[in-house]
């Protein structure tokens, strides 16, 4: 699994960063982004559940997984 945040859709609510703080962070622009550690990288199995929870919790469906 890889994950990305659609910046045009994100409203910067911070929910994803609370749920999966190692994977998401709020960038200087005030919107969420994937942390450098996991950007364009395979998400390890022990983080996948919290990424799915963050995705399901995002109010604007800005989190995409593939
Ligand atoms: S939960 Fe969604 S809208 Fe909120 S900061 Fe994360 S990506 Fe943006």
Q: Which residues line ligand 1 (CB under 6 A)?
A: 5, 10-16, 24, 32, 58-60, 62-63
Q: What is the CATH number of the domain that holds 29?
A: 3.30.70.20
Report the number of distinct structural domains present in the chain. Answer: 1
> Is residue 58 left, alpha or beta, with left meaning phi > 0 and alpha meaning psi from -120 to 50?
beta
Q: What pLDDT is recorded for position 37? A: 97
- pLDDT at position 34: 98
Going by alpha carbons, the residue nearest to atom 4 of ligand 1 is 13
Q: Of 19, 28, 24, which Cα lies nearest the Cα of 6?
A: 24
CA of 17 to the centre of ligand 1 (A): 8
Probe target for ligand 1 pocket from 17, 25, 28, 32, with the most ligand atoms within 8 Å of CB = 32
CA atoms within 13 A on the CB side of 40: 1
Using an 8 Å Cβ cutoff, are 59 and 15 in contact?
yes
pLDDT tens digits, the chain, 66 residues: what are they?
Answer: 999 999 999 999 999 999 999 999 999 999 999 999 999 999 999 999 999 999 999 999 999 999
Alpha helices by DSSP H, listed for 1-66, are 15-19, 45-57
What pLDDT is recorded for position 8?
A: 96
What's the domain range around 15?
3-65
pTM over 0.75: yes
Report how far residue 66's alpha carbon sits from residue 36's, in angstroms, rounded to the nearest whole number.
18
Ligand 1 center to residue 55 CA distance, Å? 8
């Amino acid at each position: 699994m890889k994950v990305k945040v659609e910046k045009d859709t994100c409203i910067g609510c911070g929910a994803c960063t609370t749920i999966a703080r190692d994977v998401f962070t709020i960038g200087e622009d005030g919107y969420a982004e994937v942390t450098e550690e996991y950007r364009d990288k395979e998400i390890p199995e022990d983080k996948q559940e919290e990424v799915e929870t963050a995705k399901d919790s995002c109010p604007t469906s800005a989190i995409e997984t593939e």
